[in-house]
Amino acid sequence: MLAALRRLLSALGLGPRALDPPLLEPDELARWYSSLDHDERAAVSRKLAPRVRAPRAAPDPAALPAVAVGRLVFEQDGPGGPIPLHHVRVELWDRDIGSPDNFLGEGFTDADGRFAVRYDPADAGLGDTPDLELRFFEPQHTFRSDGRAVDTWRRIGSERGPDDHGGLHHDFGTLRVPYWEYDPTAPLPRLLVAEEGTPPTAYAPGRALAMLKAVAPIEAIKRRHLLQVRLGIAPTLPALQADYPESLTVRMERQAPGSSRSDAFFGERMLNGMFATVLDRDPEAPGDPAAFRLYLPWNAYEQDGIHCLPDVDLRLRLVDGRLLPVRIVLGLREPGATAAGSPVTRRAFTPGDGADWEAAKRVVRVSATLDAELGNHLAQCHLNLEQYAIAAHRNLRRSPLRWLLMPHLREVVLINHSANEFLLGPGGYITRASALTDRAIQARLKHLLGSYDWRGFAPAPPLCEGHRYARAAQLFWRVIGEHVDAFFAEHGAAVDAQWLEVRRFSDDLVAHAVPAFVCRWLRARVPGKDAPWFVRSERMDLDEKAVEPPPRAVSAITRTDTPQPGEQDALKQLCRYIIFFATFRHSWANNLQWEDGGEVLYSCLGLRWGRGNVLVAEDDPDVAPPPDEATEMLWISWMLSKTSYGLLLSNEEGDVHPRLVELLRARAAELAALGLDVRTVQSRINI
């Protein structure tokens, strides 16, 4: 017993000297044990039980004399009443004070959340009548090098039963478990986290070190700038910029003045920068394969009247393999106008307009930066993936689908929760630094989320040889397809056997998705019409979604408890979609923040009206962001780009299937040639 306890103390990190002479007396051991938390007590009990009890054959559960029953349901009801917590592991324990708790039995909830755990009251110990406690567990996994998943169990809650229970039957009743609940007050599918509460998950420990390593070099810089602002001795923007590490555009200007402001570089970043998005053909130039258009309808939203954020109608043209801007139309409000749909004056600019053309390009860059932050980054990756993460955690436990998806969904709700006040809300950075009010940002995010669906998605084809983003996206999409196909070849039958979980996963997704959103302009030109200029591959099916009343943006995978023909293929498509956005799409937009948002005068989230005109030279301080917002912008851009943990190839937590790691490693050279260092791609969204 003493040797076993020494080994146990060592395993718990207490060291062998805890039992050095003089030996601990029984009362001292009791005090030590009572100081442990519940999980530590459970570890002690599990490790010691085989050493202090005589070996015996495993009992027949049906022959055990006592039983504890009950039902687990979610805290919040659904439209039909309580929602069962299916396939949750439950353990029955005898609580003891001053000695290890005693494990009595275990089981799983059924499809209706009901459980029955049979046990022998004698397992509480000689002369002890059980003090019952029920504990609940969720599964977690790691992969071995051969691709076999190894499950472990994480405790998520408990329920105290009666003390000194001498009967042979106890009904815990219906237990409401606050587990991965939707926020009923949020306009988007968001996780409910009580005020001053914590989400039902946690970051991997290594992320804190990665964050500190990335932020420490610039934290002191930002703090000094903010102190200078408060003291009334704010630094100039050039001085402020010089304090930070050199960004891509700053380096370009040092080496070749004007290069980062050229038309060619402007077009290149629209193709391959953090702004990279879908570019439609120019609808006003039918049949011209070289003409493209990007439209950003900011006048549809309320603005603060301080910043200038006009509608942007950008026309571009492929010339000798390069995408060049050829015309910019800005829909400018009057300074101070705040209402959505305010009257606008449209002004057109072309490359022959000299300084006005350069100023108009800057306005477009700022507009594209804000659109990338709200669209490419926050909505399409962060918030889009949160809805899949909540539904997956609520429903996937027995299904092997959990092994495929959870590594890519494990931390997104945490970083999104941090963004609720850090970036969003009345005091969030995006709200303060851009023209959009908090209400407008929420409306924009809802519209964006209402335009995303997994069904039919595929990366759009490249516009030209130099469209590195699109070529990398298609290659990455193929690799993920190979991974998903191989996974289903191995586990597809088991996925089908647990289709109830897929059905409930799908039901949660659809029930909580926002309504599909299709703007009036698109409604009039795309659904039911021949519109070859419109890129459909990355968009939801407008013929299906542009109806009244609008359906949910997210399509159902299945509506039955057993798979129907074609539904496993639909599930594979959804898995591919989730992994693509959690890995490639997020990493591309996020990792380029410093390159495209690391110089205040090049691009920011908002330009101010100044003295009534936004079309001025870059060095006009009345239009550029003030110093406090400027230093925050640079700090945020650096932090987002440079904090890296949870990398696919590193697989620090061992939860990503080694097949995906090897598939990507085999394509690393191809992806590097397209500008993507696969070593920087994260397995999940946690920054």
Rounded CA separation 647/658 (Å): 13
Please give the pLDDT value at position 598: 97
Give the pLDDT band (50/70/90) at residue 63.
Answer: confident
Please give the pLDDT value at position 97: 84
Runs of H (alpha helix) within 457-583: 468-497, 499-512, 520-525, 542-545, 567-580
When the pLDDT of each residue in the chain is averaged and rounded to a whole number, the result is 92
Give the pLDDT band (50/70/90) at residue 44.
Answer: low
What percent of the chain stands above pLDDT 90? 87
Is residue 30 predicted with pLDDT exceeding 90?
A: no
Contact 101, 155 (CB under 8 A): no
Is residue 39 predicted with pLDDT exceeding 70?
A: no
- Structural domains for the chain: 2-52 (no CATH), 61-177 (2.60.40.10), 248-624+651-687 (1.20.245)
Give the pLDDT band (50/70/90) at residue 320.
Answer: very high
Torsion, CA 525, CA 529, CA 530, CA 531, rounded to 10: 20
- What 8-state DSSP symbol labels residue 312? E
Q: pLDDT per residue over 446-458, tens digit each?
A: 999 999 999 999 9
Give the pLDDT band (50/70/90) at residue 532.
Answer: very high
* Secondary element (H or E) of residue 141: strand 132-143
pTM recorded for the entire structure:
0.91
Please give the pLDDT value at position 60: 76
Contact 171, 155 (CB under 8 A): no
Rounded CA separation 452/517 (Å): 9
Give the pLDDT band (50/70/90) at residue 57.
Answer: low
Q: pLDDT per residue over 595-648, tens digit each?
A: 999 999 999 999 999 887 899 999 899 999 999 999 999 999 999 999 999 999
Give the pLDDT band (50/70/90) at residue 266.
Answer: very high
Q: Which of 59-68, 83-92, 144-153 has the lowest mean pLDDT?
A: 59-68
Phi-psi sector, 87: left (phi>0), alpha (psi -120 to 50), beta:
left
**Closest Cα to residue 326, out of 364, 296, 297?**
364
**Closest Cα to residue 576, out of 486, 682, 666, 679?**
486
